[in-house]
Amino acid sequence: MKKILVTGGVGYIGSHTLVDLIENGYDVISVDNNSRSNPRILEGVEKITGKKVKNYKVDLCNYDDTYAIFQENDDIVGIIHFAAYKAVGESVEQPLMYFENNMVSLINLLKCVKEFEIPYFVFSSSCTVYGNPDVIPVTESTPLKQAESPYGLTKQMGEQIITEFSKANPTQCILLRYFNPVGAHPSILIGELPIGRPANLVPAITQTAIGKLPQMKVFGDDYPTRDGSCLRDYIHVSDIAHAHTLAVQFLIDSKTTKRCEIFNLGSGNGVTVLEAIKSFEKVSGVKLNYAIGPRRAGDVVAIYANNSYAVKQLGWDLKYKLDDMMDTAWKWEVKLKEDEKLYKVQNSELN
């Protein structure tokens, strides 16, 4: 069994990726300092897979502690790097904290990759690197524009650091860019922890339906889209997780000679706000309290990613449809309400 180190393994996408890796025959270890995650999520991972995952409660910004993980595990063949701060609004308010945390942790990790000659490295990037693109859907060759936030800048800078590192070292790297992972594992044993007042559509829908928010506002219904509402890119978190497993396998199987590959993980066609609401109402049986409001300043009409390169090269097959995303997101929201005390975590609003 090949051993994969997952950083941020107790987080939302990280925990789902631990499950997917284990189900595909990999041995896994996690490093997560739990500053933005709840260690009890690993209990859910164990219930799903039957395997207890070792987590190192280490801050990757501490080089010596990070180095010690590699000393203790001399059989790591690959790394999937999720660990980062990711709240866009917070990054605008505290840019230095974001640059320090997201860049120093990456550099420390890559120093260990070089020292211990780790052959494969997969980076969790973001479609925020495209900024506000001129043409949609975005492809891997879409020119990058100025990022809209310090968070987006850390992803652009991270990609640049990894690209230059891969030119000077034998490690092969993959950058995975995606928009909005949503939903929860179909077992409803792991999912996304509460995020305060959500800026994203799906948590806004589920939190309104459960009564955490009084009403949801749809910003504009006069856009040039299928139904007049904005179009966005949503993918089930388990599909995103599986793409990371496929990326590792792609490198292990020597399917590329490139030092650094880039893949967009998109839905291929996007989802409108009103389509998402209709899907939610259908699967949950709950009538959503929402109102149509004016357009919101700064909102892009439509943005989504072309996924054809990832589908072809990685053999990525999207398993979950919109109804599945909404169904699992709603069931997880209901479970969170039932387990409110269990999942209450100090910094959960920043996840």
26, 98, 151, 320: which is the annotated catalytic residue? 151
Q: How far is CA 109 from CA 112, 273, 331, in A?
A: 5, 38, 36
The edge-to-edge listing of strands for the beta sheet with 27-31 is 54-56, 27-31, 3-7, 76-81, 120-124, 172-178, 260-265
> Does residue 120 have an active-site annotation?
no
**Residues 143, 182: Cα–Cα separation, whole Å:** 26
CA atoms within 13 A on the CB side of 147: 19
* Strand 216-219 with 231-232, pairing: unpaired
Which residues face 27 on adjacent strands? 3
Q: Name the one residue in this structure whose structure tokens are 């996690």.
A: 30
C-alpha dihedral, 109 to 113 to 118 to 122, nearest 10°? 40
Phi, psi of 199 (to 5 degrees): -90, -15
Catalytic site residues? 151
